[in-house]
Structure 1
Amino acid sequence: MEMDPESYPMESNVFEFSDKSVRRSFIRKVYGILTVQLIITFGIVSIFIFIESIQQTLYENTALFWIPFGLSIVFMIILACVPGLTRKTPWNFIFLLLFTICLGATIGCICATYDTTDIWIAFGTTVAIVLALTLFAFQTKIDFTILSGMLLSLVMMLIFFGIFALIIGSRTLTIFYYCLGAFIFSIYIVFDTQIIIGGKHKLAISPEEYIFAALNLYLDVINIFLYLLAIIGLARG
């Protein structure tokens, strides 16, 4: 899952956002929301991977996966497509919380099918990659915000390549697909971080869109984790 970069509520470096105090407050708010989302997700996933009775129930009833997955799609579409919802408190927080819970349950269902060791390896690798890329995005002079069109093209390519890999059924091709997905969403981490930072970058997201910004970073992190988990699971058999 990922938002279309072309649909982001972007703006040029307007005076309001160029003010350092406004930008710093915005950044703290975004990463604060993101931290809460990840804590909630990790808590839900822990329930699924450590309680065996829940795992057994999942094997017997696959609807427990499809229901939260479908709801997470619905809530994401609402947050992305309903004008102004992400700026209306408390509805923006309510829908974001519902989305996070549903997606957390979906990820929990997925993780329940993997070995615990694989999950911890994927988790640690994701943390390392996200931290490294975030620091890179803050420090680099390269402007990744000019790549919005290219990122959309890469995501479309990833979708069609995934369909092709599914039809062929090659294990090597599938691993390559997961590696490509992890790479693309690693670029998204840098892109989404820089539109939050603003400053000298070509594009900056409006400081009022802290929910939207946190949502995109959250999706980046989750996608990287799931792709890495799939890679590790296939590599370890």
Structure 2
Amino acid sequence: MSRSDYPPGYDDSHGSLYGPQGGNYPQPPAYGFPSYGDPQPGHPSAPYPAGPNAPLYPGQPGGYPPGPYPGQPQPGGHPRSGYPAPPPMPPIIPPTIPSDVLSSGDEFAAAGSNWDSLSIRHAFIRKVYLILASQLIVTTAIVAVFTFVQPVRTFVQRNQAVYWASYAVYIVTHLVLVCCKGPRRKFPWNVILLFIFTLALSYMTGSISSYYDTKAVFLALAITAVVCIAVTVFCFQTKVDFTKCRGFFCVLGIVMLVTGIITTIVLSFKYIPWLHMLYAALGAIAFTLFLAYHTQLLIGNRKHSISPEEYVFAALSIYTDIIQIFLFLLQIIGASTK
């Protein structure tokens, strides 16, 4: 009987699975039984895994593919290392309540004083609004640079120590200008202190604005401008006298100061979105009322009026109100646009 009459052997029946090998390459070994001289299981160049539990990538720790990939350590530390911290809470700025005001038992505080001269009163108003316009131009320019120039934006976000240093400068100059009548009325110290105060508050405003989208910053600026113009026109035209409610504004200022401190402490431990938005909404409303109060003190045709020598104090008060309105609106708009 010839060999072809016998059933095919194991090697003959299974060897055809691999087909003819060209190029004088050796026949591949059977699965799971490497021949002598082939790479051993676990070697990086081994063509087959050693078993069902063998790593798919023997050369990598844990058998995982080369990183980086989610959940694994990144080269150079944590994925968020080096990134800027979350935006700081806006500065807690107590509203300014003037202690030296003209008052009268009559309807107008200007009666019997040098406010009787319309030229003096108009010159005082122009002087205050000229100083206020200069402050707002400086602040707008700094906010624009911190928002649009990326290197500056990155710097202020990564160096929050400068923010807190500017906060300390703001507190010192604010207390000096509000509490000390001598430096506030003596030229040129009053102008120098007011300039330093403006730079410090402008830096804080620009630093906070750098954390928000450009769209939110522009929208907050636009709404703030509309609110301030509307309040100013209303104060010039209305018969409502906000200066008679001096006690109410004193209480409101204390309430906002205490509320701001408590909110900042609570949010530093656990961020509560609704609490943040509630505080921002109340702050925007409160400082809009303060803007109306300080504007009527400046106009001088109400029961109480600010002294004509207090042009620095008047500009400081209105400027602080406008900045606070902008910051509170920015918090609300910035949270809604995320």
Normalising to structure 1: TM-score of the pair?
A: 0.94
Q: Which runs of 5+ in 1 are unaligned?
A: none
Which residue of structure 1 lines up, in the alignment, with residue 274 of structure 2? 172
Distance 1:86 1:164 in 2: 31
Which residue of structure 1 lines up, in the alignment, with residue 175 of structure 2? 77
1:183 aligns with 2:285: yes
Which residue of structure 2 lines up, in the alignment, with residue 53 of structure 1? 151
C-alpha deviation, 1:156, in angstroms = 2.2
1:10 aligns with 2:108: no
C-alpha deviation, 1:69, in angstroms = 1.5
Distance 2:259 2:191 in 1: 35
C-alpha deviation, 1:17, in angstroms = 1.7
Distance 1:165 1:70 in 2: 20
Partner SS, residue 118 of structure 1: helix
> What letter is aligned with 2:306?
I
Which residue of structure 2 lines up, in the alignment, with residue 212 of structure 1? 313
Q: Which runs of 5+ in 2 are unaligned?
A: 1-92, 104-108
1:123 aligns with 2:217: no
Distance 1:53 1:104 in 2: 18
Equivalences, count = 235
1:226 aligns with 2:311: no
Deviates more, 1:159-168 or 1:85-94: 159-168
Partner SS, residue 212 of structure 2: coil
Distance 1:4 1:67 in 2: 22
Partner SS, residue 11 of structure 1: strand
Distance 1:85 1:17 in 2: 24
Which residue of structure 1 lines up, in the alignment, with residue 189 of structure 2? 91
Structure that is richer in helix per residue: 1
Call closer, same or farther: CA 1:27–1:2 in 2, change over 3 Å.
farther
C-alpha deviation, 1:164, in angstroms = 4.8
> What letter is aligned with 1:213?
A
Which residue of structure 2 lines up, in the alignment, with residue 19 of structure 1? 117
Match runs of 1:156-167 below 5 Å: 156-166=254-264, 167=266
Deviations 1:62-99 (A, max 9, x none): 11211112111111111112222222111111111111
Deviations 1:33-59 (A, max 9, x none): 000000011111112111111122223
Call closer, same or farther: CA 1:33–1:212 in 2, change over 3 Å.
same
Partner SS, residue 124 of structure 1: helix
- Asked whether the equivalents of residues 147 and 210 of structure 2 are also in contact (C-alpha less than 8 Å), the reply is yes
Distance 1:55 1:157 in 2: 34
CA RMSD of aligned residues (A): 1.5
Higher RCO, Cα 8 Å, sep 6+ = 1
C-alpha deviation, 1:145, in angstroms = 0.3
State which of 248, 254, 259 in structure 2 corresponds to 1:150.
248
